[in-house]
Amino acid sequence: MHRRTFLTSTAALAVAGLTTTPAHSSTTTRARATRARTLDELRSQIASAGPGAFITLADGTYDVPADRPLAVNGRRGTADAPITIAAEHRGKAVLTGQRGFTIADSSYVTVNGFVFRQRATLELPLSCHHLRLTRNDVRLTDSDGLNWLLVKADHTKLDRNHFHGKATLGVFVGVEGPGGDGMARGLHILRNYFSDHTFTGDNGGEPIRLGLSGRSLADAGALIEQNLFERANGDPEAISVKSSGNTIRDNTIRNSLGGIVLRHGNRTRVEGNFILAGSNGIRVYGNDHLIVNNYVERVAGAGIVLGSGSVRDHLASDSPESRRGNDAPDRVTIALNTVLSSGSAISGESQRTLPPLGCTISDNLLVGDSGDLVAMPYQQGITWSGNLLWGAAGNGNIPSGGYRRVDPRLTTSGVRRLTAGSPAINAASRSYPSVNRDLDGHPRSGKADVGADEYSTAVPLNRPLTPADVGPSAP
């Protein structure tokens, strides 16, 4: 990751009360730093803020009146000189009350380092673009049905925040867009910590819900990367994708009910994720997805599920309401993944009548100790090749020409990677021109190795994340 910092003078930093460099940002012009000691001072300084303004709020707990929120209205920074509103010291300015910030008709505004303890959804509306929430602690009132953050603004960045502690219906982050079928474009969700959602229902408690069924055909172009999910037990879907054209990469989901689910939409890439010791892995509906380089270990259910459909395809001519059915997978590629010690490695569904069509399951490394590795009720729409199977688990119903059974010679602790001499090395059955790296972030060159790991003695660049890697104190 390329690290960039604010260009501020020593004097400006002293005025701002900052003892460390602020969160990552585009290079800025010299900031005009001011310090607010009360909510009224903060309101006044926000109302006059222009490009490059850097406003800090003194440490303390502030009860924001319901009729006087902290309005950011008509404030416009620039890419090189954003407006920054920050806690004087990260995590020391606590906002309580009905709502904290209300943002409208604004762009290039950053909110940094606050503790949010409000009773109403924080919304980033359509009238805004290029907003950033960074290094905040978010734990709103645990009200049934309350979604904590709703993103409608294009080019929003959410990075290094901690969303935690919800026991009721509602999502941590919901993403929507214009009208009934549009999506916010260009969202970047990076290095956040999502933890401790204990809602006991079976739907509606996602940490991230990227779209809705009626918005599924809209291209969001979202990038969700390097986030950690722990004890995300509010929904079987930790990352619920209901839009098109997204990338979900290098995230870690640990000890959670939720997995990664492409519930609606097309053309999403799921790459380099770790799903460890949970209940659900990766589940796929819709068309033209690429599921590659993922590592799933000790998941109670299936590591990867290629779904079935109640409709063949969702169409632009369909009403948003009619897109609630499951879109059967077409032209989905599931390749170069490693699934270990799970309920099954790769499975399908038989509860719906429309099978996958034109899908490829190739060069995956599947290892298990019990049950069957593959349970795919619909076979006619799938091409299998080059998969490597091992362990006491049965093969299941994978076609005989689609695999070989041989010891992959994996390491025995931590992330189980290939060792020298593994039969998985240079053994892929297909070429993957769009896959130029492996699970570890190492380059894939020549003929790919089977599974998520390309054998290397280099230190991994991508690894399972811990709380020290994410959230307000992350690098």
- Is the CATH number of domain 121-469 3.40.50.280? no
What would the mean pLDDT of 87-115 be, rounded to a whole number?
Answer: 98
Tell me what the pLDDT averaged over the chain comes to.
Answer: 92
Please identify which residue in the block is written with the tokens 């380059």.
443
Which pLDDT band holds residue 31 (cuts at 50, 70, 90)? low
Tokens of 107: 């762009």
pLDDT digits (tens, 9 = 90+) for 153-171: 999 999 999 999 999 999 9
Question: Does 250 have pLDDT greater than 60?
Answer: yes
| The pLDDT of residue 379 | 92
> What does the domain layout of the chain look like in residue ranges?
121-469
Instruction: Output the CA torsion sign for 211, 217, 218, 224.
Output: positive
On whether the CB atoms of residues 249 and 271 are closer than 8 A, the answer is: yes
pLDDT given for residue 320 in this prediction? 73
Residue 23's pLDDT band, with cuts at 50, 70 and 90, is: very low
Average pLDDT, integer, range 379-392 = 97
pLDDT higher than threshold 80 for residue 4 = no
* Distance of alpha carbon 113 from alpha carbon 22, whole angstroms: 9
Residue 207 and residue 246 in contact, taking contact as beta carbons nearer than 8 Å: no
Q: 333 pLDDT band (50/70/90 cuts)?
A: very high
**Distance from the first to the final alpha carbon of the chain:** 10
Does residue 157 contact residue 126 with C-beta atoms inside 8 Å?
Answer: no
Query: Does pLDDT of 14 surpass 50?
Result: no
Q: To the nearest whole percent, how much of the chain has pLDDT over 90?
A: 87
Please write the tens of the pLDDT for every residue from 141-154: 999 999 999 999 99
Q: Does residue 51 surpass a pLDDT of 90?
A: yes
Cα 27 from chain centroid (whole Å)? 26
Average the pLDDT over 12-24 and give the result. Answer: 36
Q: What is the pLDDT of residue 203?
A: 87
Q: pLDDT tens across 187-240, in order?
A: 999 999 999 999 988 889 999 999 999 999 999 999 999 999 999 999 999 999
The beta strands (E) that lie in 88-128 are given as: 93-97, 101-104, 107-112, 115-118, 122-124
Confidence band of 138 (pLDDT split at 50, 70, 90)? very high
If 0-12 CB within 10 Å is exposed, 13-18 middle and 19+ buried, where does residue 438 land? buried
pLDDT at 321 over 80: no
Label the pairing between strands 372-375 and 344-348. Answer: parallel
pLDDT mean over 313-317: 83
Q: Supply the DSSP symbol for 454.
A: P
Residue 13 has pLDDT above 50, yes or no: no
Residues in the chain: 475
pLDDT of residue 8: 34
Lowest-pLDDT choice from 21-30, 41-50, 69-78, 432-441: 21-30
Residue holding tokens 């069924």?
213
DSSP per-residue letters across 371-427: SEEEE-S--TTEEEESEEEESSSEEET--GGGEEE----B-SSSS--B-TT-TTTT-
Q: What does the alpha-carbon distance between residue 230 and residue 223 come to, in Å, rounded to a whole number?
A: 20
Residue 307 pLDDT > 70: yes
Is the pLDDT assigned to residue 447 strictly greater than 80? Answer: yes
